[in-house]
Amino acid sequence: MPRFASLAATAATLILASPVTAQDTPEEVAAAALEAAPVWDGHNDVPGRLRGRYGNVLEGFDFHDTLEGDDWTPGEMHTDLPRLRQGKVGAQFWSVYVPAALEEPQAVVNTIEQIDVTKRLIAAYPQDLALALTAGDVEAAMAEGRIASLIGMEGGHSIGSSLGVLRQMYDLGARYMTITHSRNTPWADSATDEPEHDGLTDFGVLVVREMARIGMLVDLSHVSPATMHDALDVVGAPAIFSHSGARAVNGHARNVPDDVLARLPDNGGIVMVVGLPGYLSEQQRIWYANRQAQEARLEALWQGQPDQVTPRLVEWDEANPTPLATISDMADHIDHIRNVAGIENIGIGGDYDGMSTGPVGMEDVTGYPALFTELARRGYSQEQLEMISYRNMLRVMRAAEEYAAGQSGSPPLETVAD
């Protein structure tokens, strides 16, 4: 047999003998990953929609179908039970967000109400949802075919600057707290407010330390870089970014700069990559800035004459359509975080029902398989996809629980009450 024919025959034999996975399509690799490790999503705002649309009254609300609008708020939601299943979501942090503009005492009350409605929602669908308070609970719920449902607080205003309230929120079921939302708290700087504290105050340091002591995840989405660094300096346990992108890919203040990403391997935390288009597409971010500038220009040219401003702004919009964010944009953020921090430091935090739409092809919670297919197309292995979808977050929560167990002999941190 000629030598080239022998080599060809050997190659054919090796191909046939290769594992099936080596020949799988990106769609098949993604499907296998999500079957083995369904998405653990870091942030979904359904509880806020329940308050805004229904006043937290669940009577008449059908979580099996939220595609239709209603008399209160037209338009569909991004999330319901069939679509969560279609999107291969196995665990979900439900956000009990209340507006950062609220005075702290009212924010505390409203947050408790949002925890209550979230628990009532979970209890109303026992075949599909299960309240999860620990990593073990998450595993047990998923083994039963139910979506593990965790509670995350979005904004430190929700504790009313009280360590006692923080501890009680944990006892009510909250398993992470975002240190700030869109505004500074009295003890921490937000990414989207004027710097006031240069990060964390002394009390803010106590909040972060106490969160870690009791096992509540420290969420650094929405905070300033100085707050990120201050928190990473003192937290001890892994921190999370429940819904953020990479600032090097999109310069929005809500995204994570590289010098913070570089610290995540030592901390053990993760960035759960957000799906909000304005945080994904740099072209869209620049478009928004240009539109704001155009609106300000028109208002200066036509002071006190909104009838002149409005049609001219409409003309500008027609001539300058909004750039669309895509699944590829979201994958670019994942690529960057992998390159700077590592594959072990990536998760998913969609922000559905907290935005008008996700990127093209991921408009609602059904879109996760498309994202994972794109990642597989870029060369991510099934093992790596499983890490991103679920296993990294499971590791982080276990590590936070282990850290808290190691602090069990430490007394609660105390401050003097007003």
Question: Which positions are catalytic?
Answer: 43, 45, 154, 181, 222, 243, 351
| Alpha-carbon dihedral angle through residues 380, 384, 388, 394, given to the nearest 10 degrees | 170
Question: Measured between alpha carbons, how far is 6 from 88 in angstroms, rounded to an integer?
Answer: 46
Using H for helix, E for strand and C for coil, what is the string for the chain? CCHHHHHHHHHHHHHHHCCHHHHCCHHHHHHHHHHHCCEEEEEECHHHHHHHHHCCCCCCCCCCCCCCCCCCCCCCCCCCHHHHHHCCEEEEEEECCCCCCCCHHHHHHHHHHHHHHHHHHHHHCCCCEEECCCHHHHHHHHHCCCEEEEEEEECHHHHCCCHHHHHHHHHHCEEEEECCCCCCECCECECCCCCCCCCECHHHHHHHHHHHHHCCEEECCCECHHHHHHHHHHCCCCCEEEEECECCCCCCCCCECHHHHCCHHHHCCEEEECCCHHHHCHHHHHHHHHHHHHHHHHHHHCCCCHHHHHHHHHHHHHHCCCCCCEHHHHHHHHHHHHHHCCHHHEEECCCECCCCCCCECCCCHHHHHHHHHHHHHCCCCHHHHHHHHHHHHHHHHHHHHHHHHHCCCCCCCCCCCC
The amino acid present at 98, given as its one-letter code, is V
**Residue written as tokens 């330390």?**
209
